[in-house]
Amino acid sequence: MRPISIVGDGASELARRLAARLDGRVAQRPEADTALAFDGDGNWTGRGTIEEFDDLLDGLAPEHDYLLAVGESRLRVPAVLLGPNLDPESVPGTVLATAATPDAVDLDGLVADLDAAEPWITRETLVRRVEASAGADRSGAIATFTGRVRARNGLDDDRTTHLAFEKYEGVAEERMDAIAGELTDRDSVFDVRMYHRTGVIEAGEDIVFVVVLAGHRREAFRTVEDGIDRLKDEVPIFKKEATESETFWVHRRD
């Protein structure tokens, strides 16, 4: 799913116009302190506060292609800023467009930029994709791995507040696709999906997923382990760690 936050004067108007141009299942979150998300038919599909927005995204991602959030500038998702008084540096997400009014936004360009932006992928999204694959009727196992931000290694360590991940655009995806393809060539392995999030990820949040569809549990577990090992060793993704006392690049990820 690809989320976007639209902030400023005329945000709701732009959200309606953008929703009509998107090709897929669109969830919308109206302007309110309490988040309500609904599909294109007006059926309510989610509820949550700003602080629970990641959970809302996780719940909507498997069933929707897009989420439009209106009026909240604190979301770590791609954003559009409308009006003269909004500073791009004030929002945590990538700013896709700024304009004085909704009419001044290039909708064709915005749709293209949104489709090129980082999607919101969940473990459940990948599980549903492998369940729909051609080999699903011959599979007896789905194994998954989820990597998350560890707050601390030991009781006396400084607490890690967040990690920031960067990747070589295109290269990382190509390498993950190649690894997944090589692992899928194994006997009794029917589908392998992997995804690594980028940007700022806070303590306790998910970072990376590997999902394997296989004939039996042994092949599934073995392939999951090999998949995450190869991803960490071979995919050009770089990590900066922020603790309560310092920030530093981690050259050897564990």
pLDDT in tens, 85-97: 888 887 878 899 9
pLDDT in tens, 161-172: 999 999 887 899
SS (H, E, C) the chain: CEEEEEEECCHHHHHHHHHHHCCCCEEEECCCCEEEEECCCCCEEEEEEHHHHHHHHHHHHHHCCEEEEECCCCCCCCEEEECCCCCHHHCCCCEEEEECCHHHCCHHHHHHHHHHCCCCCCHHHHHHHHHCCCCHHHCCEEEEEEEECCCCCCCCCCCEEEEEEEECCCHHHHHHHHHHHHHHCCCCEEEEEEEECCEEEECCCEEEEEEEEECCHHHHHHHHHHHHHHHHHHCCEEEEEEECCCEEEECCCC
In this prediction, residues 231-236 reach a mean pLDDT of: 95
- All structural domains of the chain with their residue ranges: 2-116, 123-250
Q: Do 58 and 124 meet the contact criterion of CB atoms below 8 Å apart?
A: yes
pLDDT for residue 43: 40
In this prediction, residues 71-78 reach a mean pLDDT of: 77
Please check the confidence at residue 37 and state whether its pLDDT lies above 80.
no
pLDDT in tens, 109-125: 999 999 988 888 999 99
In this prediction, residues 120-138 reach a mean pLDDT of: 93
In this prediction, residues 176-189 reach a mean pLDDT of: 97
Averaged confidence pLDDT in the chain = 86
Please check the confidence at residue 33 and state whether its pLDDT lies above 60.
no
CATH number for the 2-116 domain, one of 3.40.50.300, 2.40.40.20, 1.10.10.10, 3.30.420.10?
3.40.50.300
Q: Is residue 28 very low, low, confident or very high in pLDDT (cuts 50, 70, 90)?
A: low
pLDDT for residue 254: 42
Q: Is residue 63 very low, low, confident or very high in pLDDT (cuts 50, 70, 90)?
A: confident
In this prediction, residues 119-139 reach a mean pLDDT of: 93
Please check the confidence at residue 74 and state whether its pLDDT lies above 90.
no
Please check the confidence at residue 42 and state whether its pLDDT lies above 60.
no
* 123-250 is classed CATH 3.40.50.9100: no
Higher pLDDT, 32 or 80: 80
